Structure 1
Amino acid sequence: MNASSSSASDDAAERLRRWESFGATWQVLSRDEHGVVVSMCRCDGGEEVERLSSDDPALLEFLGSRRSSDD
């Protein structure tokens, strides 16, 4: 499972950090031995804009045990 709609130079963890830094939110939808699926949502109401599916170790480390950007 690779990061969806990302270039090779744009790792999933950095992408999610930027998303969060602009005030948008995210929520882990699923997590298993194959990776994680994260819902990336707008900052003005929580509407999902995109889903990020990745097995990137840097993203898994960034997320840790958090379930959302509110954690």
Structure 2
Amino acid sequence: MTGPGDVGRLRRWEDSGATWEVLTRGPDGVVIALLSCDAGEEMDRLASADPELLDYVGERRRSDE
């Protein structure tokens, strides 16, 4: 089970079979595109500076890396 917050949201997205991609990364945090599991279409965005999320994403550009 995933906890609340941005990491939980991103992990639930992954657990549903969908993917994500970092659109921007900077000193103010990241903006992540939440992509559909079938066509990779952008469904939503997650913008966050949450240290837990930044640690979880690390240097990856996409969830499949």
TM-score normalized with structure 1 length: 0.84
CA RMSD of aligned residues (A): 1.1
Shift of 1:13: 0.8
Identify the residue that residue 39 of structure 1 maps to in structure 2. 33
How far apart, in 1, do the equivalents of 2:64 and 2:14 lie?
A: 10
Unaligned runs of 5+ in 1: 1-8
How far apart, in 2, do the equivalents of 1:60 and 1:16 lie?
A: 11
Runs of 4+ in structure 1 over 4 Å off: none
Number of matched pairs: 63
1:16-57 CA-to-partner distances (Å, cap 9, x unmatched) read 011001100100000000000000010000010001000011
Please state whether the residue corresponding to 2:11 is helix, strand or coil: helix
**Structure 1 letter corresponding to 2:4:** D
How far apart, in 1, do the equivalents of 2:23 and 2:58 lie?
A: 14
How far apart, in 1, do the equivalents of 2:11 and 2:4 lie?
A: 11
How far apart, in 2, do the equivalents of 1:68 and 1:55 lie?
A: 17
1:1-71 paired onto structure 2 within 5 Å? 10-71=4-65
How far apart, in 2, do the equivalents of 1:20 and 1:43 lie?
A: 9
